[in-house]
Amino acid sequence: MLGGNFLSLFLNWLTRGLTVMGGLVAIVLGWPIAQAAWQAQQADSVLYALRTEKRIDRKEAAAGVEALSRAIALDPMASRILERSELLASTAQTPSAGLEAGERTDWLRRSRTDLIAGLANAPAHGIDWLRLAAVQLQLAGPSRQVVALMFTSQQMAGGIPQAWPTRLRLILDCWPLLTGPEKERLKRHVETMWRQSSTDRRLFGYATRSAADHAILTWFLRDIPGAPQELAKIIEQVNKR
C-alpha cells in the first residue's frame, strides 16, 4: 500500500514537472515569434498611411522598414517580407517621402528582392505579383517579363478592384509587346473592369496619359455601346482638374 502511494505521488509530481518544463520550452520557443510580431506592429501605422495615401516622410518610412527587418530577422515569415516590399515600393513612389533619384532606385531594387523571396514561399499573393510587375517596369522598362508577371497577377487577383489602376497602366505601357491573343484576352478583362466600375470610372481617366493611351483604351472598349464616348468625357473631366 505504501509503495503504491509513493508511486502515485511520484508520477503526480513527475507529470507536474513535465508540464512546467513543457510550458517553459513553449515560452522559450515562442518568445522570438512574439518579439517579431511586436516589431512588425511598429510598421503598421506607416503601411496604413501609405495605403490610404497620407503624407509620410523618409524618416517614418525608414523606421517602418527597420522594424520589419528586425521582425524578419526573428521570424522570417513570407508575409512580413512581402509587407516590407510593399513599404519600400510604395515609399519610392510617394513624393512626400523625399527620396532622391538614387535612393528611389535602391528602394525599388530592395522591394524587388523582397518580392522574389516572399513570393517564392507564398505564391498565391496575386497583388504582390502585380507589385513585382510594376516595380520591374519602373526599374527596367516594358518587357516580356513584365507582361508575364502581369498575367500571373491577373489570374490570381483579376477581380480585385484595388489592382485595376495599376494593371491598366501596365497594360498601356506594355501594349507594343503584347501578342494578338494577349490583346484579345486583356480586352475581355478591361471590359469587365469597365462594367464593374459603373459607379466611378475615373480610373480609366487617371490611367490615360497620352492620345495613344486613349486610342488603346478605345480599342478595348469598342464593343460596349456608348463606352468610347463615355471614356472621352471621363478623360476630358480628369484633365480639367
pLDDT digits (tens, 9 = 90+) for 222-238: 999 999 999 999 999 99
Residue 7 pLDDT greater than 80, yes or no: no
72 contact partners, CB below 8 Å, separation of at least 6: 36, 80, 81, 84
Show me where the domains of the chain are located. Answer: 35-122
27 confidence band (pLDDT: 50, 70, 90): very low
| Number of other CB atoms surrounding residue 124 within 10 Å | 9
Q: Select the more confidently predicted residue: 98 or 111.
A: 111
Between CA 100 and CA 215 the distance in angstroms is 34
Pick the residue with more confidence: 96 or 38?
Answer: 96
The pLDDT value given to residue 26: 42
Q: Which comes out higher in pLDDT, residue 102 or 47?
A: 102
Per-residue pLDDT tens over the stretch 30-51: 545 666 565 667 778 888 888 8
pTM (2 d.p.): 0.82
